[in-house]
Every structure is written in structure tokens, then in C-alpha cells.
Amino acid sequence: MEFTSKIKTIEWVNNTSRMIDQTLLPYELKTVDIITCDEMYNAIKNMIVRGAPAIGIAGAQGLSLAALELAKITNDVNEFLKKLEEKAQYLKSARPTAVNLMWAIDKQLEIAHNTISTVYGLTDAIVKNGKAMELADIEINKQIGEYGAQIVPKGATILTHCNAGALATVGYGTALGVIRSAYAKDQTIKVFADETRPRQQGARLTAFELITDGIDTTLITDGMCSYFMKKKMIDIVIVGADRIATNGDTANKIGTYTVAIAAKYHNIPFYIAAPLSTIDSNIKSGDEIIIEERDHNEVTHINGKKICPDGVKIINPSFDITPNELISGIITEKGILRPNYTSSIKKALSIN
């Protein structure tokens, strides 16, 4: 059977970007309409929308909104393009680690610079391309899901970290897309979801998605994975990615590296699921990836309540880097990439 997620994270409707406000989940399922470039910057920055592919589409639609705004104040193509470039850099600065944001905005800029037209024509081309990217995202994720389902053993229990599901994409998921596709073929599949401190995306978002879809899910805290691996209660690990270097080093939510080390020790396969757009062809290793440092309140507070004493020092990196030698494979829309990643990634990008 074909599995269809009930969640649509972001959608372009009547020159407006309509998205689920993920800061309210799982308590309230509510959409918000983003109508300006500034509103989109804030939605990305404050994690109303999050997850690398979804952030990418949000960035593309943010530039569509910027184009619509600029078309109201200038008819000069050169001025329009100059200001559009400024808006693009502004949007890129909202989340520095997720490369999909930069990739999607650059795709929009390519359309703008390669279209010979009036300001009206340029704006129309940018808006149409942003919508096309939205529609393509779901199909890409379904392809990732189909390839990934092939490596999930029958009756497996899958561990995942953070949220790489419909809420992290337009509406199907990368790591959770693999889980959905595997579940469509085998309803005995089970999932363990790490809670994912400090923002609890696993508890709030992944568990919400999987329970909504009727998939057997157990929530565990981040420090429990080794315990369950030793007890042979986890068969495979599948996570998403925010940026992948050309040698396969992968940035993902903080704590992923720890899970990968535990999986390696217990001889459990550890897979990344991500579209090829998450690969940054400009960097050779994870050492070059900028790690976003987020607000300290994310660590010191839960649901608005302080959980630690005054005066304690806080460090809050949002991501860590999993070295390529810990990764069994990278599941993409073009197939599963295997070590040597430098060569397999190069080949995959050349046929994309």
C-alpha cells in the first residue's frame, strides 16, 4: 500500500506562505499565514518552521514574498535584482547550518538572473519556481522513503533522533519518510524516538507524527539509547541531516553524534536520510560546517519554567557533526550512497 502523511507543513496559497506553527505542537495544531519577507525570516529564526528541507522551501517562498514586495516599489529590473540579492542574504542569515536554506534561495536567484523580463515577469517566475520546489519536495522524500525501506529488516525497531518527518519537510519526511515507506510494507515495524533536548523535537514532533499515523512508537530520553541497544531492542538507526560535506561528514541535531558512536559500538547500522540538496558541494569535511549557537533559555527553561539555578553557565550548540566512518549509508532520492563517500557523493551529484 502507499502511505500518505496527514500533515502538510508548508504550502503556497494565494501569494501567501501557509505553514504549521511548530512551536505550538503537540498542544495545538495551527497554521499561520506568512505574508512578508520579514515575517518569513522570523518564522525560520524562531523555528515556527524547522527541519532542513522545510526551511529550504520556506526560504524559497520567503524570496517569493520579497519579490512581490519589491515589485510594488520599483519597475527597474536592475534595482529589483539588487534589492532581491539583499533580501536573499538576509533570509540566509536566519539559520546558518541548514544548507537547504542557502540552496533553495540560490535556486530562486538563478531563476531571477536567468529570466529576461520585466519586474512583473521576474516576480511571476520566482513565485512559480517556489511553488514547483514545494511540490517536488514531497516526491523527492517519497523516493528517499522507497530506497530506505529496502534496508529496513522485517519487524525491525528503528531508532530516530530529532524530527526528520513531514514537519521537517513539505509533507512526507526523510528519516520518517523511510519509516513510513517501510511501515507501508510491514505493519510490524516499530519506532523508538529520542526526546531530543533541548527543544524536544522528538517528543513534541516525531512522536506526534508517528502516533497520528498509527505507527507503534516508544519515546525515550536521549541518554537511554545505549541501554536499549545493549538489550538488542534497536535494530537500525535512521536520522535526517542539516548539512552533509562531500566526504560524508554530517551535521544533524545535537546528540546525533552520540547515537552514532553507540550504534557503532553495538554493531547497529546507522543511516542518514536526506535529499541531495542537503549535500554542500563547497565543503570537503564537517570541520567547515558552521554550528549554530542558540538561545540559552532553550536549555535553562522547559515550557517557560526555569529548571536550573541562577548563575550556571550554558553552552547551546544546535547541531553536531557525525564523522563519515560512523555512517553505514546516506539514503537519497537517487539511491543509497555508500563509503567511499567522496566518490559516491561525487557520482550522485553529477547525475542529479
Helix (H) or strand (E) holding 160: strand 157-160
Task: Give 205's contacts (C-beta < 8 A, 6+ positions apart).
Answer: 22, 25, 26, 163, 165, 167, 168
Cα 256–chain centre separation: 14
Active site residues: 242
Compute the distance between CA of residue 134 and CA of residue 205 in angstroms, rounded to an integer.
21
Respond yes or no on whether the N-terminal peptide bond of residue 198 is cis (omega within 30° of 0). yes
Per-residue pLDDT, 303:
84
CA angle 220, 184, 151 (to 5 degrees): 70
The pTM is what?
Answer: 0.91
Per-residue pLDDT, 3:
58
pLDDT in 10s for each residue of the chain, 352 residues? 555 666 789 999 999 999 999 999 999 999 999 999 999 999 999 999 999 999 999 999 999 999 999 999 999 999 999 999 999 999 999 998 889 999 999 999 999 999 989 999 999 999 999 999 999 999 999 999 999 999 999 999 999 999 999 999 998 999 999 999 999 999 999 999 999 999 999 999 999 999 999 999 999 999 999 999 999 999 999 999 999 999 999 999 999 999 999 999 999 999 999 999 999 999 999 999 999 999 999 999 998 899 999 999 999 999 999 999 999 999 999 999 999 999 999 999 986 5
